[in-house]
Structure 1
Amino acid sequence: MYEQGTFSPSPVTDCVVFSKIRKILGGRVRLVITGSASIHPDVIKFLRIVLGVPIIEGYGLAETFAASFITQPGDYEAGHIGGPTPSVEAKLVDLPDIGYFSFDVNEKGEYAPRGELCLRGPTLFRGYYKDEERTHQAMDSEGWIHTGDIFVRLHHNGAFKLIDRKHGVFKLSNGEFVATGKLELAYGKSKFIDQIFVYGDPSKSHLVAVVVPDDGYVRGAWAPRLGIEREKSLQELCQIEKLRDDILTDMELISREDNLPPYEAIRKIYLESQRWTENDILTSTHKLNRKAARDKYTNILGRLYE
C-alpha cells in the first residue's frame, strides 16, 4: 500500500494503533521536515506510516543558509534529497582521482552521473568574514561552492543521492562529524594492526572497520602466547574469533587513551588476511582509495551493520 501512494496499511491499524501515537503529538500534525543529518530510508517510511503525513527531507550547508535541496511531499521514495530549490544552481564535478565521473552509468547501464556537488545562487553566502583564504577554498572563481559531498543523480527520477565524502569526513545519523583519516591513524597504532579501513554509513550512528592484522606480531607474539601454532597462515589465524576480540579490545584501549568520543569507537571489524597494494585499493602514493575500498568490501560492510 505504501508504494502505491497511501500511508495507512489498513483502517484497523490506523485507528487502533497509529491514531494514539498521533495524539501524543497533538493530533494535528500535517507535515514533517527533517534535515541536519541523513535519516535512514526505513525510518522515514516507518514515520510516514505511523504519523500518516508527508515527510520531506532537506539538504544544505551553513554556507547555503539551510536547505538547497528538498524532496517533494508526494514523493514516497526515501533515501535521496530530491532536487535543488528554485534559487539554486547545482552541478556534479568529476573527481578522476577517486573514480567519480559525470558520464557514469548505474548497474543497469543507465546514465547516472556522479561527482562532487557544487552549488551557486543568490541565496548562498559570499564568503567567510575577514577570511579570504577559507573563502577561496570553499568557493571557486565562478562562484560555485564546493560542498565536499559526493552525489549520484538517480536515473529514474533525477533526484540526488549522497554516496560519499570527498575528504573522508562525513556526518553520522546522530549528527556527529567523523574524520576517518584521523581515526585510521589513531587505531593504526595498535600492535595488532598493519592496515585499516574505517567506514561509516551516514544512515547509522556507529563505525565499523576492515583490518589487516600485523602478521609479525600475530604470528610471533599473540599466537604462541595462546598456544596456537605459529605455522598457521594469517588467513587461518583471521578465522579465529579470539583474534578479532583481542584486536577490538586493543582498539578500545587506544580509544580511551586518545580520549576519542563514543561515536568514534569501532563497533565491529572484519579481518582481511591479504595486505593492500597499488593493485587493489591503494593509490600510487600508498594512500587508501576509499571508493575502491568501499566497492571491494561492500557486502562485508553490509554484514557488519546487520
Structure 2
Amino acid sequence: MSEEHSETGTGWPVPAGPGRPSGPAGEPDPRPDAPDPDEVSPLAPSEPVVEPVVEPAEPGVGEPQVPPVEESAGSAPVGRRLTSAGAMIAVLLALLGFTLVVQLKTTSTDPTLAATREEDLVRISSDLDSRERRLRQDIEALEESQRQLRSGEQGRQAALEEATRRADELGILAGTLPAVGPGLTVRFEGPAKAVSSVRILDAVQELRGAGAEAMQIAGADGAAVRIIASTYFVDAEGGGLVVDGKRLAGPFTITVIGDPATMRTALNIPGGVVAAVRDDGGNVTPEDREVVEVSQLHAPIKLDHARPVS
C-alpha cells in the first residue's frame, strides 16, 4: 500500500483534483466543472472531531493534597484486613478470660475443706501450728550446736557432747535404747477388719507424722514389739497380727512418746484412723500420759559387709 493510501485511512487514493471549496450551507458549487454533490464518495474522510482537553484543576491554597492509594493485585482491602485482625484478637481475649475464670474457680473451691466442720478445721490448724513450732525448735537447736562447734577451745567438748546426744537419739530411733517421756497410749479394739494390719500401720504413720519419737505395740497377753522404721505388720491366720515375726492377739495398745495434743489431733482428723476404725465397727481410745516408758528393745542388726568410715 502506498503512502497516499495510508494517509486516507480508507485504503483508497484521494482524488488529485482541487478540493471542494466550502460555501454557504445548502448552496451548490458555482464552478462549471464542479462535481455533483450527490456523487461525492461517502468514504471521503471527514474532518476529525477534536475533543476538548480538560486539565485538572490546581489545588487551592491550603488544601491538602491526597496522594493516590496504590493497591497491589494480591493484597486484600484494608477494611477486610482490619476486620479479620479484630476478630482474631476478640477470640484470643475470650479464650484468655475463660481460662482465668476456670482457674480461679478451681483454686478457690476445695470440696474437702468445704465439707469439713469448723471444729475439725480448728484441729487441723492446731496440728499444723504444732508441727511448725517443732520444726522451728529443731532449727534453733541445730544452729546453736553449730555455733558451739565453731567456738574455738570449747569446740572439742561441745563436739563430744553433740556426738553423745546424737548417738542416744539414733539408739532410740533404732530401738536399741529404752526411752521415757510424755506421750499417749492408744488402744485398738474391735473385729478383725477394724483392727487389721492396714489400720495399725495407718495409725503408726499418723503418729510418726505428728512427731512420735519412740513407739511400741503390745497385745492382750502383754507381749510387746518395738516399732522402728523397718517394722512390718501382717494379718495372722485366725485373727491377730504378726509384727516383726512375733504374733500378737487383740486388743492392741500402742505406747508412743511425743507431744500428746499434736498426736491426738492427728489421729482424729476427719477421714483418718479413728474414723476408719469406727466405720468398720471398732473403737480407738487415745489417753494422754505425762510419762510413758518405751522399754521394749529391738535387737541390733548384724552387719556383714558395712563398716564405719574413720
TM-score category of the 2 structures, normalised to the smaller one: under 0.3
- The structure showing larger relative contact order (alpha-carbon pairs under 8 Å, at least 6 residues apart) is 2
Q: What TM-score, normalized to structure 1?
A: 0.21
Structure whose alpha-carbon radius of gyration is higher: 2
Q: What TM-score, normalized to structure 2?
A: 0.21
Structure 1 or 2: more strand by fraction: 1
